[in-house]
Structure 1
Amino acid sequence: MPGPGSPKRKSEVIDGEETNNTSSFSCPSAHHGVKTDAWEWEEVEIDIDWGVLRGKKRGSGPRKILGLHGWLDNANTFDLIAPMFPQGIQFLSLDLPGHGNSDHFPPGFIYDPRGYMGAVKKAMKALGWERFIFLGHSMGAVVGILYSAVFPEDVEAFISIDIIKPWSSPPEKYAAQFTKYFNQYFDHETKATQKPLIYEEDELVKKTIEGSKSLDERGARILLSRGARTVENGGMILKRDLRAKVYFIGFISFEAWVELARSIRCPLLFVKANDGHKYETKERYDIMLAAFEEDCRHFSCVEMEGKHHVHLTHPEIVGTYINSFLEKCDSVIHNGTSNVNV
């Protein structure tokens, strides 16, 4: 579906709050021209038995949105679209285990979307969130697909940014891939006990941009302001768990993903960047989208200009899509209509 015309540019903001765990990463306000009172973030800590998940919350009201970031990113990923959400919404952006300010998994735990899903479920129970809208980017959207299928009673609606499905491998390749996975995991486990690499700030920004292939400097600094910290000599180190870097996607078959998609019935929005990550052929994506739409109360898939971190590079357009979807969800709930599109 083609994207809309670019909406009128809104004020943009960089999260400039300081917490015990944030770094002194510079995000010059001159680049953003933002009203500082647009931000009222509150740091959140959630004890989930084995450790603490941390995040940031803003807004109040009966409607709740949970935001989950992508692989090796953190809760700052939605900083530019959160101010666009309507009044009456509590928005919680969560650091997944091993990311941002959240505790790392204990030794022996495996970083995997299923493990993340379990951690999120425990966090929602601890908070008493019985019903919420799930917003995910990249890996966070992979977790969201799993969560929406496994715990459908929790999810009022699901919004995915640049994920329809991740890679799948045929079962005959699983043995070789698991071998590769565990060898990498044990190697990273050893490296995680050693002194971390120290970077100059500008060097780390550059590496983040180059590694993502989709971030601009503004987005890189937003993520690094929560994902890195300053050390004694003035250098920067990354806070994420090295074990989380191991590539873990591919161990669910394509057929299983289709059945997971088919089981989700809440309203769905997919925002796909036309130059974003591509994990499957168009034919397989079409099969997945048809499965998502099959018994869905309201389904929409939109394509727009941009790369994988499109919510950080084109926040006004992504925020407009999300707000339109939320309005249509209200129509579905109150009027029982389903033939609506963003």
Structure 2
Amino acid sequence: MQEPIPFQVDLDYVSLSGLRWGKGHRTPVLAMHGWLDNCQSFCRIAPMLAEACDLDIWAIDLVGHGHSGHRPKGSYYHIWDNVIDMALLMDAQGWEQVDLLGHSMGAGVATLMAGAMPDRVGRVGLIEGLGPLSTSAEESPQQLTQAIGRYKLQTYKTPPCYTCVEEAAEARMRGIGEISYDAAFPLAERGTRRDEEGWRWRSDARLRIPSPVRLTEVQIYSFCEAIKAPTQLIVGDHGFLVNRENTRLRKERVADIEQLVLPGNHHLHLEPGTAIAVADALKDFWQKS
């Protein structure tokens, strides 16, 4: 099975890094990971998909994550900024159209991108995500207040330091969406760097500050309604989305979507025991005419 090819693309304001699987015979697939993860999120399913479907998969470290650059000082992290990043990446690479594969936050980015750029997106695979987190109009002032408070505290926080990558992986196991060591290690391996004191996460500390502003559910519905591409949504039976009302309401607004509930947790595509089933489902989706 093909080893991934590292890449870096420099935009005007930031560099994007990641890993690529495939030989470029078909439309590129932009694979986008979840919050505080990195492109190694796709290390189990991307090789299988690329080989079986002859796909050209570009798994991106989203800005502020992994080996990609951080946003300039004074900038913040809004989910729609990632859509602009991906659009500029497409232009830099000369891609008129791409397919999308997203997990969690990356699935939220894919949803917004497919709705905002429907003529440039051919197919959308979503894992444990359909649209981003939302905040009601009434709660928007509180959301901004919370972000201001967290931003003021950020300068007083010292990033955790670990004695080895393995210790960082063990810490990631206890993070949001608890995962096994076998799933956490690839994320820690790419997501940490070594300094004179030990191993630290590469991710930008500002990613932990709550978004100052979020879209409302009604706004997210509009993005869902604008999606033209065939879409597949995969959720884990022990994940975050199963039986959620807002997932059902969003899904009803996507014209061409199928949903599969598979065994697994929020990272079912990265867990060794469940990744093959996810890959098989995505293979069937990409092989449909």
Tell me the CA shift for residue 130 of structure 1.
1.4
Q: Indicate conservation of the 8 Å contact 1:228/1:237, yes or no.
A: yes
Within the alignment, does 1:139 sit opposite 2:105 as a pair?
Answer: yes
AA aligned to 1:276 is G
Q: Alignment partner for residue 218 of structure 1, among 182, 195, 199?
A: 182
Q: Would you say 1:79 and 2:75 are equivalent positions?
A: no
Q: CA deviation at 1:249?
A: 8.6
TM-score, normalisation: structure 1: 0.78
Distance 2:76 2:209 in 1: 10
- Contact 1:42-1:57 at 8 Å conserved across structures: yes
Aligned to 1:262: 225
State the Cα distance separating 1:283 from its structure 2 match. Answer: 3.5
Q: Distance in 2 between matches of 1:258 and 1:113?
A: 16
Match of 1:311 in 2: 269
Query: 1 CA distance for matches of 2:216 and 2:136?
Result: 6
Is structure 2 residue 249 aligned with structure 1 residue 287?
yes
For 1:201-280, list aligned pairs within 5 A.
Answer: 201=164, 202-233=166-197, 235-248=198-211, 251-278=214-241
- CA offset digits 1:200-251 (Å, max 9, x no partner): 2343222100113331111111101110022335x21111000011232972
Aligned AA for 2:205? L
Within 2, Cα distance between the matches of 1:324 and 1:250?
37
Of 322, 327, 333, which residue of structure 1 is paired with 2:282?
322
Distance 2:46 2:133 in 1: 29
Does the CA-based 8 Å contact 2:238-2:264 persist in structure 1?
Answer: yes
SS in 2 for 1:248: coil
Separation of aligned partners in 1, 2:282 and 2:235: 12
Counterpart amino acid of 1:151?
M
CA displacement at 1:277 relative to structure 2 = 1.5
Corresponding residue number in structure 2 for 1:161? 127
Q: Which amino acid in structure 2 is aligned with residue 207 of structure 1?
A: A
Q: Greater CA radius of gyration, 1 or 2?
A: 1
Count of residue pairs the alignment pairs up: 283
Matched, 1:63 2:27: yes
Q: Which amino acid aligns with 1:317?
A: A
User: Which residue matches 2:259?
Assistant: 301
Structure 1: which 5+ runs fail to align?
1-37, 332-342
Counterpart check, 1:103 vs 2:69: yes
**Contact kept in structure 2, 1:168 and 1:250, CA below 8 Å:** no
Q: Which has the higher mean CA deviation after the structures are superposed, 165-174 or 236-245?
A: 165-174
- The SS at the match of 2:123 is strand
Task: Give the secondary-structure state (helix, strand or coil) at the position aligned to 1:310.
Answer: coil
Tell me, in whole angstroms, the C-alpha distance in 2 between the residues paired with 1:88 and 1:282: 34
Q: Can you list the C-alpha shifts for 1:105-153, whole angstroms capped at 9, x where unaligned?
A: 0011110111111111111111112111100000001011111111112
Distance in 1, Cα, partners of 2:189 & 2:56: 23
Q: Measure, in 1, the Cα distance between the counterparts of 2:246 and 2:13.
A: 38
Q: Which amino acid aligns with 2:126?
A: S
Contact preservation (8 Å) 1:167, 1:250: no
- Structure 2: which 5+ runs fail to align? none
Q: CA 1:266/1:249 → structure 2, altered by over 3 Å: closer, same or farther?
A: farther
Q: Structure 1 residues 109 and 87 mapped into 2: Cα distance closer, same or farther (>3 Å)?
A: same
Amino acid in the other structure paired with 1:323: K
Identity %: 28
Classify the secondary structure of the residue corresponding to 2:184: helix
* Change in CA separation of 1:220 and 1:95 when aligned onto 2, cut-off 3 Å: same
